[in-house]
Structure 1
Amino acid sequence: MKLSQLTSYLESLAPLAYQEDYDNSGLIVGHPDQEINQALVSLDCTEAVVDEAIATGCQVVISHHPIVFKGLKKFNGKTYVERVVEKAIRHNIALYAIHTNLDSVMDGVNAKICDTLGITNTRILTPRHGLLKKLVTFVPVEQAEQVRKALFHAGAGHIGNYSEVSFNAGGTGTFKAGEGSNPYVGEVGMRHSEAEVRIESIYPANLESKIIMALVLAHPYEEVAYDLYSLTNQNQQVGSGMIGELEEAMDEADFLAGIKASMVCKVIRHTALLGRRIKKVAVCGGSGSFLLKHAIAAGADAFITADYKYHEFFDAEGKIVIADIGHFESEQFTQQLLCELIQKKFSNFAIRLTKVNTNPVKYFI
């Protein structure tokens, strides 16, 4: 298949619009029309991973972390980033990253951590603002249902676990068709009144062009009237971190031991134990210290993340147990998640999980 078929699917699950400003997710090297028949999945895109792709005949490397975060001015092989990009281009291997956009969705990185640890009843810890908009349009009564169906099919009308959500109110629309027009109802030069339905529906802002196209194609009028509104509502399906509950409360030591076993950690850096049982748990794959106050406010007993600095551990202030399990360790199962998602959609496509351990942090035990 074409590379664009694979990347379009991944971006339907984790839209590029959901990545953080500093990020560089998406197709980094390669052409969308490139033919592919197998892909290699890894957490990081290193030179060893590209070598593995070459050796196994993979035409694309899908990594969580982008190999390129900022602009490259020279390609002379002096840095590992330059060498990776050069080698990929030379061997016609596409590089694709799905980073903070996969961190931000309900079924992404943090959901995989929760599944691994048996955390249930999960929700996004800090839902994101500014990702939703509202469409308002006016349709003749007889065509209202066909327009609603088109909007829903294009991705409008989702609120939490509910779909096909809209508000509808009846009214009368008036218009006078001018010279050169071809009105669906009424006559040129005569004001016409038509019983119409006002349809309102919320949609993700990144789907706007698709939503409007669906509206225009399904609407009977030659000139389609519609309004677009920006919303400040939270999108409960998109944001940072995740919080949920263990099936049964655990002693702190047993909880940490369980994390070490399930997440395959060499070591866990943690704050002082508080002598309380652990029931509600917040998680954030990768660097998550910015979410601590939200985890405390949400009533979490423990917060699992990585990359904590020395002084940041003091911020727990005896209110929560911070468990820093390591960046690679917290996100390592993202590789399996990507393989599962791709195999579910493209059952005949060859997908390989890298055999390279890309963790740059080593432990002397």
Structure 2
Amino acid sequence: MSKIKDIVQHLESIAPLDYQESYDNAGLIVGDASKTVSNILISLDVTEEVVEEAKAKNCELIVAHHPIIFKGLKKLTGSNYVERTVIKAIKNDIAIYASHTNLDNISTGVNAKIAEKLSLRNAEVLSPKKRQLGKLSVFVPQENTNELKKALHQAGAGQIGEYKDCAFESSGKGSFLPTEKANPSIGKSNKLETVDENKVEVIFPMHLKNKVLSAMHNAHPYEEVAYYLHQLENTYNDLGSGMIGEIAEPMEPTDFLDYLKERMGLKVIKHTKEINRKIKKVAICGGAGSFLISQAKNKQADIYISSDIKYHEFFDAEERLIIADIGHYESERFTNEIFYAVLKENFANIALHLGQTVTNPIKYY
């Protein structure tokens, strides 16, 4: 039987918590990680009604996109919907897990799902993040180099874009003098030793640092491994906010807005003035995305699709592109399909339930 911690570990291998924004609260919010799971409810939000649905379907765990708790709770008196939801979940022994901005920021997450719905081609991250990559440089005897590289690559190091098992080697001579307390694999105590060595350098996502270092130590023959780490300023193109891609055939603005409605199941679209050219390049951001308007313009997008755009922020379009606000719920409700797919593939023994509770607090008349 799978346990909650198994579900958590798998979800975080796809969307690590290190990738969430500083204000976020993704992760296991309510529940005992050691509890076994037979039924999971998947939902965009967690409300009292969602917990009731989970209870009715005998679900031990709710997997959601939005965390029910963002700020610290000082009381649990049921004075608001957050407190009441948490209380109901605890009373019914239902755990709550959220994967939020960490899922937004990965290149296969929320925005990739929107790009899929719109059939965008050549989709890439709109605003990639920096300082998310590290470089390991380690010195190893030449005869142990291939074994060490294999271990590092298996730990996730050496993948750059669509290229795997990347590494750089340079050769030289290493020298050391073991003390009497040392237990050297090469050489003897109190005798200077010189060894033909390679310096192996690999790049890796920083959230894998501990895993990569563990693999290095396990595969290295030396008692004391000579290595150093750097956090890189390089842009990590597989991680960041929003996405941008192209539609197969350019469309007139009104035709594209109709297409957007149909593909995303929308009732209304709030948008700026139509531009005097066809729509080809499309920028997107699920959830609140006004912070990416300038990046969409810089990347020469014809339309930027997001939500929670404020009145004065619509002026930032400057007739250079269309800003389309499709609604927060509407932009992220297909996130449930991501959770369903990744859990179904790896946990065949667990029944997955797509939540039927409509949690959108906004109604259209």
Same fold (TM over 0.5): yes
Q: Deviations over 1:251-290 (max 9, x none)?
A: 1001000111111111100000113100000000011111
- Partners of 2:7 and 2:50 in 1: how far apart? 19
Q: Deviations over 1:76-119 (max 9, x none)?
A: 11111001111111111110000000000010000000100111
- State yes or no: 1:76 paired with 2:91: no
Contact 2:37 2:350 (C-alpha < 8 Å) held by counterparts: no
> What's 2:271 paired with?
270
Q: Deviations over 1:16-39 (max 9, x none)?
A: 000001100000011221111111
Contact 2:282 2:301 (C-alpha < 8 Å) held by counterparts: yes
Q: SS of 1:85's equivalent?
A: helix
Equivalent residue runs for 1:1-365 within 5 Å: 1-364=2-365
**Amino acid paired to 1:121:** N
Q: CA RMSD in A?
A: 0.7
**Amino acid paired to 2:141:** P
**Amino acid paired to 1:50:** V
Pairwise CA distance, 1:305? 0.4
Pairwise CA distance, 1:320? 0.2
Q: SS of 2:90's equivalent?
A: helix
Contact 2:131 2:234 (C-alpha < 8 Å) held by counterparts: yes
Q: SS of 2:240's equivalent?
A: strand
Q: SS of 1:133's equivalent?
A: strand
- Partners of 2:61 and 2:350 in 1: how far apart? 12
- Partners of 1:153 and 1:319 in 2: how far apart? 46
Moved more, 27-36 or 344-353: 344-353
Contact 2:38 2:349 (C-alpha < 8 Å) held by counterparts: no
**Amino acid paired to 1:154:** A
- Partners of 2:213 and 2:116 in 1: how far apart? 37
- Partners of 2:38 and 2:138 in 1: how far apart? 44
Pairwise CA distance, 1:344? 1.5
Which residues of structure 2 form unaligned runs of 5+? none
**Amino acid paired to 2:179:** G
- Partners of 1:88 and 1:195 in 2: how far apart? 61
- Partners of 2:18 and 2:284 in 1: how far apart? 23
- Partners of 1:31 and 1:347 in 2: how far apart? 22
**Amino acid paired to 2:203:** I
- Partners of 2:256 and 2:20 in 1: how far apart? 32
Q: SS of 1:188's equivalent?
A: coil
- Partners of 2:159 and 2:110 in 1: how far apart? 22
Q: SS of 1:220's equivalent?
A: coil
Q: SS of 1:224's equivalent?
A: coil
**Amino acid paired to 1:339:** Y
In the alignment of these two chains, the number of paired residues is 364
**Structure 1 stretches (4+) deviating beyond 2 angstroms?**
none
- Partners of 1:212 and 1:131 in 2: how far apart? 16
Q: Deviations over 1:332-354 (max 9, x none)?
A: 10011210111122223211100
**TM score, norm. by length of structure 2:** 0.99
Q: Deviations over 1:216-255 (max 9, x none)?
A: 0100011111101111001110000000000110110010
**Amino acid paired to 2:318:** E
**Amino acid paired to 1:94:** A
